[in-house]
């Protein structure tokens, strides 16, 4: 089958090779040891048998995978290689797998030397596809293309399963952020304006952790239940801050009676001294 010439730099080949190595290693295991290995932590998705119902191993297509890996495994700065349309399809599949599964670092993927790799492979694949159709005819090419599709399904089902990523929980993150900001805002309402804001925020975060560990069940069973009543939450925060800081840091509304009376006495003494002068 007629091939298309394409030049790969060392960095471009290094990006594709991790997925190609996984494919080749899996094919060797499948062919030589008669088994289809999967990683221990990998689980087949629900109804995987139906999703990949047309999967089929094809020895000729497996040779294209091995040939692509061997041609891209070089040590020089760059190499001009001849790849047919299926070998280029292998390279395109490997690049998609590397990018999706993050098999290389983000800096390597975002490097300027790898910026146009996907377009370069795709343009060369289209050129090689047109040459293959002229050489072997449309019907023969369609038959091989179907075999390649079934072989890709076989590889995806048996070889290309990676550790599933942890699903993002943006709603939970926003909820915890809202809880944190609400607690901090309530705490600043029970202290005087000159209080150290960072110190108060650290105490509030400590109080939140203790509430989640159920160390203040007598006040509220959960943090969520406490935040339903802001007045009760302010009372709890005032009590918590009072355990760690001086009583004078609280606003008079949340100070104890003796502290307020002592403050009034101090003010009265200063006023009497001022009148005497």
pLDDT of residue 76: 85
Give the pairing of strands 4-9 and 78-83: antiparallel
C-alpha separations of 151 from 1, 60, 220, 259 in Å = 19, 10, 59, 80
Please give the helix or strand (H or E) that residue 83 lies within, else none.
strand 78-83
**Selection from 125, 104, 124 nearest residue 12 by Cα:** 104
pLDDT of residue 91: 94
What is the pLDDT averaged over residues 233-254? 87
**d(Cα 108, Cα 226) in Å, to the nearest integer?**
48
Question: Per residue in 138-197, pLDDT tens?
Answer: 999 999 999 999 999 888 888 876 554 555 556 666 778 888 999 999 999 999 888 899
Task: Give the contacts of 98 (CB within 8 A, at least 6 positions apart).
Answer: 15, 16, 18, 19, 104, 109
- pLDDT greater than 90 at residue 68: yes
What is the pLDDT averaged over residues 113-117? 87
Q: Is 122 exposed, middle or buried (0-12, 13-18, 19+ CB in 10 A)?
A: middle
**d(Cα 93, Cα 108) in Å, to the nearest integer?**
18
The reply to whether the predicted model has a pTM over 0.75 is: no
- pLDDT greater than 50 at residue 44: no
pLDDT of residue 93: 94
pLDDT of residue 26: 85
39 pLDDT band, cuts 50/70/90, is very low
Classified as helix, coil or strand, 5 is strand
Task: Give the contacts of 132 (CB within 8 A, at least 6 positions apart).
Answer: 1, 2, 84, 85, 141
pLDDT of residue 204: 92
- pLDDT greater than 80 at residue 50: no
What is the pLDDT averaged over residues 33-59? 59
- How many CA atoms lie within 13 Å of 140's alpha carbon, on the beta-carbon side? 9
Q: For residue 167, what is the DSSP state?
A: P
Rg, Å, the chain Cα set = 34
pLDDT of residue 205: 92
Among the ranges given (139-148, 166-175, 198-207, 265-274), the one the predictor scored with the smallest mean pLDDT:
265-274
Mean pLDDT score of the chain, rounded to an integer?
82
Asked if 19 contacts 94 with a C-beta cutoff of 8 angstroms, the reply is yes
Among the ranges given (87-96, 155-164, 167-176, 203-212), the one the predictor scored with the smallest mean pLDDT:
167-176
Chain centroid to CA 18: 20
- The pLDDT > 90 percentage for the chain reads 40
Mean pLDDT comparison of 73-77, 111-115, 116-120, 254-258, highest-scoring range? 116-120
Among the ranges given (18-27, 39-48, 119-128, 260-269), the one the predictor scored with the smallest mean pLDDT:
39-48
Q: For residue 76, what is the DSSP state?
A: S
Instruction: List residues bridging with 81 in a β-sheet.
Output: 6
273 pLDDT band, cuts 50/70/90, is low
Q: What is the dihedral of CA 107, 113, 114, 115, to 10 degrees?
A: 100
pLDDT of residue 42: 42
**Selection from 239, 242, 210 nearest residue 223 by Cα:** 210
């Amino acid at each position: 089958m007629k091939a298309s010439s394409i030049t790969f730099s060392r960095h471009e080949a290094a990006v594709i090779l991790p997925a190609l190595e996984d494919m080749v290693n899996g094919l060797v295991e499948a062919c030589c040891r008669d088994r289809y290995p999967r990683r221990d932590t990998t689980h087949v998705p629900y109804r995987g048998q139906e999703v990949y119902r047309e999967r089929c191993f094809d020895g000729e297509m497996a040779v294209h995978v091995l040939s692509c890996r061997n041609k891209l495994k070089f040590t020089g700065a760059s190499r001009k290689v001849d790849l047919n349309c299926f070998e280029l399809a292998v390279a395109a599949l490997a690049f998609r797998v590397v990018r999706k599964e993050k098999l290389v670092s983000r800096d390597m993927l975002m490097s300027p030397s790898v910026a146009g790799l996907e377009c370069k492979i795709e343009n060369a694949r289209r050129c090689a596809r047109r040459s293959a159709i002229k050489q072997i005819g449309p019907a023969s090419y369609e038959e091989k293309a179907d075999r390649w599709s079934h072989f890709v399904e076989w590889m995806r089902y048996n070889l290309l399963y990676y550790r599933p990523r942890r699903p993002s929980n943006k709603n939970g993150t926003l909820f915890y952020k809202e809880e944190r900001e609400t607690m901090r805002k309530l705490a600043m309402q029970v202290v005087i304006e000159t209080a150290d804001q960072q110190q108060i925020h650290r105490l509030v975060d400590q109080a939140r952790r203790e509430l989640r560990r159920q160390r203040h069940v007598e006040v509220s069973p959960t943090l969520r239940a406490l935040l339903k009543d802001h007045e009760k939450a302010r009372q709890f925060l005032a009590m918590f801050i009072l355990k760690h800081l001086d009583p004078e840091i609280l606003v008079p509304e949340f100070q104890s009676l003796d502290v307020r009376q002592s403050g009034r006495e101090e003010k009265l003494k200063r006023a009497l001294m001022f009148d005497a002068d």
